[in-house]
Structure 1
Amino acid sequence: MLIETPRLRLRPWEERDIAPFAVANADPEVRRYYFPDILTKLETDAMIADCDRHLQMHGFGFVAVERKADGALIGGLGLSRAGDEIPGGPHVEIGWILARPYWRQGYALEAARACLDHAWAALGLAEVIGYTSRINEPSRALMEKLGMRSDPAEDFDDVTVPEGNPLRPHVLYRIKSTDRR
């Protein structure tokens, strides 16, 4: 899977991506709305291996996002099959993690739009979901910029997050191929 935008390249993970992605995953601010919070290098290695397996199995996945200008890994973004913790599945979800130096530059929106275009045109998907903790305003704002919509009746508690943790209540967003802007 290779997707290009004017500034970015979404591509399979490479060995050279592990160290910078591990740095991003060890940043408490980057992982603020994720559970578990920070990841070790070994956990990042395992995450990338899982993403690679998913890509090989399904033809789409959570991939590396590289800035074309200098080849810098800015994070990961892509599509994956959502887990059973998401009500009403099966679903294909879009998700992202960008390293802090690359925030607020429009990269996540640019990459996510291209990823959704790929979902509709190349994969023929009818719908993609996104979900995040209720308190994750930055990701919720991005989903809304993408044209994704939520219905409070579909909010759910993420059972992979311990009870009482403020990250447990989640909001589910949807976008259909017919909702394209």
Structure 2
Amino acid sequence: MSRVIQTDRLILTPVAEGDYADLCALLADPGFCRHIFPQALNAEEAWFRLLRDIGHWQVMGYGNWSIRTREDGRYVGSVGLLNYQRILDPAFDAIEMGWGLSPAFQGQGLAFEAATAAVAWAGQHLKADHLVCMISPDNGPSLALAARLGFARYTDTTYKGEPVILLERQSVPGGGT
């Protein structure tokens, strides 16, 4: 099973140690982090996230991909299929999907391109019949992307004391077979 995905404009590769500097810069950007973390992350916290993502691929056989432009290899952000064992009520009943792009690359359709490819990969390789995601109610762009990807809100709850919206996509091409 190939873990590398290519689209018209992007290359998605499983997160690797070589992504650390780019990940550090992204996670230190308050504009990127404002809907995800209470504050930007430092280099140590970025390292732990990198190790988590590498380990996720090793244990689960899927995880976060680093997104880079095909044209020049610039780091765009990440998209992933996840099982983080979140302590959440209601608990997730499917693979979680997540994404995050550097503010410099937002508004260009790259998140939709990467996420669409990840959904197709989930259907083909994981036979996922549906996916879930969790988004801050203040993150309008991510909510719009989720809707464009076919996710629908199914409940509101809290995660680590913060309000979140849980969404699901009921159909995954090639999934559930």
TM-score normalized by structure 1?
A: 0.88
Give ranges in structure 1 of 5+ residues lacking alignment. Answer: 162-167
Give the deviation of 1:138 after TM superposition: 1.0
> Identity percentage over the alignment?
30
Looking at structure 2, the residues matched to 178 and 74 of structure 1 have their Cα atoms a distance apart, in angstroms, of: 25
The number of equivalent residue pairs is 171
Question: Are the aligned partners of 2:120 and 2:173 in contact in 1 as well (CA < 8 Å)?
Answer: no
Q: Which amino acid aligns with 1:50?
A: R
Residue 132 of structure 2 aligns with which residue?
Answer: 129
Looking at structure 2, the residues matched to 177 and 34 of structure 1 have their Cα atoms a distance apart, in angstroms, of: 26
Counterpart secondary structure, 1:70: coil
Residue 15 of structure 1 aligns with which residue?
Answer: 17
Alignment of 1:81-120 (within 5 A): 81-82=83-84, 83-120=86-123
Give ranges in structure 2 of 5+ residues lacking alignment. Answer: none
CA RMSD of aligned residues (A): 1.6
TM-score normalized by structure 2?
A: 0.90
Give 4+ residue runs of structure 1 displaced > 3 Å after superposition.
Answer: none
Residue 60 of structure 2 aligns with which residue?
Answer: 58
In 2 relative to 1, CA 178–62 (structure 1 residues): closer, same or farther, beyond 3 Å?
A: closer
Question: Are the aligned partners of 1:81 and 1:90 in contact in 2 as well (CA < 8 Å)?
Answer: no
Give the deviation of 1:51 after TM superposition: 0.6
Looking at structure 2, the residues matched to 147 and 41 of structure 1 have their Cα atoms a distance apart, in angstroms, of: 35
Looking at structure 1, the residues matched to 80 and 55 of structure 2 have their Cα atoms a distance apart, in angstroms, of: 14
In 2 relative to 1, CA 117–70 (structure 1 residues): closer, same or farther, beyond 3 Å?
A: same
Looking at structure 2, the residues matched to 107 and 70 of structure 1 have their Cα atoms a distance apart, in angstroms, of: 15
Give the deviation of 1:96 after TM superposition: 1.1
Counterpart secondary structure, 2:51: helix
Alignment of 1:4-83 (within 5 A): 4-82=6-84, 83=86
Residue 173 of structure 1 aligns with which residue?
Answer: 167
